[in-house]
């Protein structure tokens, strides 16, 4: 039986990888999903079909370039027109690639800072009025490299450090109506250009659990912060198998 006026989550970068796992988990919990994508239209449509096969009219696709700030307010307006409410914003979308200093371009700087820092901040600001009305929440996907810089990724690491401070700053700015928290994944999914087995083993050897994590474990933590943590705000949970306690 459909729930009348169910809660609504906006998830950015939701068509693939961790974003898709978060989308599936929150949809399973009864939330309707505003599924944002940039270029991954086919994957977004396939995920919409999958989820609406379980609950009709429960997913709205929203295409936008998060680096085009004028499109962020349009995203929120689409949600307002679709459901008239927003209960959760998950800032998941992220660019990630190496930027060695000798090869760094201004375009790479703008992209990495834009998707990891600027866009999540301004999207949170645009979503705040709807989230206040529902006493909702914001969850940022941060990174353990916000505290431990990744070699050859200085711009990404700096952007995620700013993202981590955003969690704390917005928790102060938007409370008491809106809770703001973060999830910092460790070795969950390898980059599309996978490292060698030697590098993988070296990375996993630095975790206390000796294994990589799964997107579902990230999704479970997002679900906890969204639905079961009414007195938690301004916090970032590392889901990294104990990597952050190693030297």
36 contacts 68 by C-beta, under 8 angstroms: no
Q: In the annotation, is 97 catalytic?
A: no
Helix axis angle, 154-174 to 119-134, nearest 10°: 20
Annotated active-site residue in 37, 97, 156, 231:
156
**Active-site residue set:** 156
């Amino acid at each position: 039986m459909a729930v009348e006026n169910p809660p609504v989550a906006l998830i950015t970068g939701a068509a693939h990888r961790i974003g898709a796992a978060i989308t599936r988990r929150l949809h399973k919990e009864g939330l309707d999903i505003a599924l944002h994508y940039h270029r991954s239209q086919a994957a977004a449509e396939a995920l919409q079909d999958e989820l609406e096969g379980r609950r009709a009219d429960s997913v709205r696709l929203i295409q936008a370039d998060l680096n085009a700030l004028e499109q962020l307010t349009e995203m929120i307006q689409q949600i307002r027109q679709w459901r008239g409410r927003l209960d959760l914003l998950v800032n998941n979308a992220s660019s990630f690639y190496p930027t060695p200093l000798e090869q760094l371009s201004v375009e790479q700087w703008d992209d990495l800072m834009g998707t990891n820092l600027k866009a999540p901040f301004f999207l949170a600001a645009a979503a705040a009025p709807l989230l206040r009305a529902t006493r909702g929440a914001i969850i940022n996907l941060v990174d353990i490299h916000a505290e431990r810089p990744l070699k050859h990724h200085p711009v990404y690491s700096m952007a995620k450090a700013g993202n981590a401070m955003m969690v704390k700053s917005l928790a102060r700015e938007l409370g008491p109506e809106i809770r703001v928290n973060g999830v910092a994944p460790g070795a969950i999914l390898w980059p599309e250009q996978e490292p060698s087995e030697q590098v993988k083993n070296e990375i996993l050897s630095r975790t206390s659990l000796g294994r990589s994590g799964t997107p579902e474990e990230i999704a479970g933590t997002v679900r906890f912060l969204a639905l079961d943590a009414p007195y938690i705000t301004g916090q970032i949970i590392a889901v990294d198998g104990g990597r952050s306690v190693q030297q």
